[in-house]
Amino acid sequence: MEPPIREARPEDRPFIEEIARLTWNGEDYLARVFDEWLSDGGFYVLEVDGRVIGTAKITLLPGKVSWLEGLRVHPDYRGRGYGKKLHSFMLELGERLAREGKIEALEFATYFLNRESIAMAERTGFHVKARFFVFGAKTESFEPEEPKLVEPALEDLTLGLIPVGWRFVRRSEEALEWIKLNAELYDFNGFRFLVSKKGTTFTPLDVGLATLKAMLPAMAWVAKERERESFDVMLPSGVKPLLPGLKRLGLLLWDETEEPNVLVFRKRLR
């Protein structure tokens, strides 16, 4: 009998928390977003012998895109094809949504060292559409300064593809309305940055070294308010020439790569 994939339920929490604890050295966000994803819908789990051992999430984004995220398999069950099974299930779900006219593409983002996910994506028709750098920073490395929370406008969205946490939306009026619901825009001395309402991955809307230096204390303030000891900064791949300067500002590249470490994949369905 094939193990079932079903929608997540409140009683799945202990299993999800265990998977999160055993992923990324306990830094996985899955447990933190459990309630939000449960309420949002499109949150699926794979069950083996009454135990949840895998997860996956599909979220409708602006531009008729379904965003794939949260694909996890418990370490004790990896290497048995469960990740592939979850991925295939999400592809089938996406194809159905496309036939219904609700979406035109599937997208997701992954870390550049997640070779298994990258290989699986390439085998199933996904292609890299954008690359970004994600940097880490310690909140205590900066003297936090309070920014001003402002209402975003279309002219604030200076990037064609805008990171909101680890989701990415294309600049449009529809995306602006989605951002108003899911993110916050801060202004600090005329410099602006986005951050999802519950996360601490920041998107500066100006990526010069001087402006980033000015914004980092304000980002640290938001991170401190959210009781986080560290935060991340997502920047487009074009900042590569600035890497030495960015490191001097206190930003650290995960795994010390010199290449963009976040890949955004897309599979067109219509």
pLDDT tens per residue, range 80-97: 999 999 999 999 999 999
pLDDT at 260: 96
pLDDT at 108: 97
Quick one: 23 and 89 in the same domain? Answer: yes
pLDDT at 238: 95
**How many residues does this entry show for the chain?**
270
Residues contacting 125, CB < 8 A, separation 6+: 267
Quick one: 257 and 136 in the same domain? Answer: yes
pLDDT at 3: 86
Instruction: Tell me the residue type at 201.
Output: T
Q: How far apart are CA 111 and CA 136, in angstroms?
A: 14
Q: How far apart are CA 242 and CA 149, in angstroms?
A: 28
Q: Which residue has the higher pLDDT, 26 or 260?
A: 260
Q: How far from chain centre, in Å, is Cα 125?
A: 21
Are 108 and 67 within 8 A, CB to CB? yes
In Å, how far are 103, 147, 190, 211, 219 from 187, measured between CA atoms?
34, 6, 6, 12, 10
Answer yes or no: is 109 within a domain.
Answer: no
Q: How far apart are CA 56 and CA 261, in angstroms?
A: 22
| pLDDT (average), residues 93-105 | 97
pTM: 0.93
Quick one: 135 and 252 in the same domain? Answer: yes
> Domain tally for the chain?
2
First-to-final CA distance of the chain: 33
- Tens of pLDDT along 34-74? 999 999 999 999 999 999 999 999 999 999 999 999 999 99
Are 132 and 204 within 8 A, CB to CB? no
pLDDT at 59: 96
Answer yes or no: is 118 within a domain.
Answer: no
Quick one: 143 and 218 in the same domain? Answer: yes
Q: How far apart are CA 207 and CA 243, in angstroms?
A: 12
Quick one: 97 and 140 in the same domain? Answer: no
Average pLDDT value over all residues in the chain: 95
